[in-house]
Amino acid sequence: MGKEYNALITSSTWRLVPRPPGANVVTSKLLFRHKYHSDGSLIRHKAHWVVRGFSQQADVDYNETFSLVVKPAMICTILSIAALHVWPIHQLDMKNAFLHDHLEETVYC
């Protein structure tokens, strides 16, 4: 939980402000998971801060939604094409990738 919180603070993702009158506040929560080795032993505890977008209101606090989810079929397709053309394949795991972009909208959480 500390690493997740520090990543948000370090990147200046948010700042504490008074709630404006009439603003819809999107609720959030921390999700906790355990990561395990293939033998079942514990690797680490993980925490993710997630905003519960279902509390947003159409035409009030969003215009469109986007989810950074890759479908397994797409990964298989890309790997098949790369193997067919003998392209090198590299893996990148970017922690907190969502922190590296800027929103044009103001969202109150």
User: Mean pLDDT per 10-residue run, the chain (109 residues)?
Assistant: 77 81 82 86 82 66 60 89 93 64 74
- Helix, strand, coil tally for the chain in percent (to 5): 25, 20, 50
* Residues 26, 21: Cα–Cα separation, whole Å: 14
Domain ranges of the chain: 2-100
In this predicted structure, what is the pLDDT of residue 4? Answer: 74
State CA 96 to chain mean position distance: 6
Evaluate whether 32 touches 47 at the Cβ level (below 8 Å): yes
In this predicted structure, what is the pLDDT of residue 39? Answer: 92
pTM: 0.43
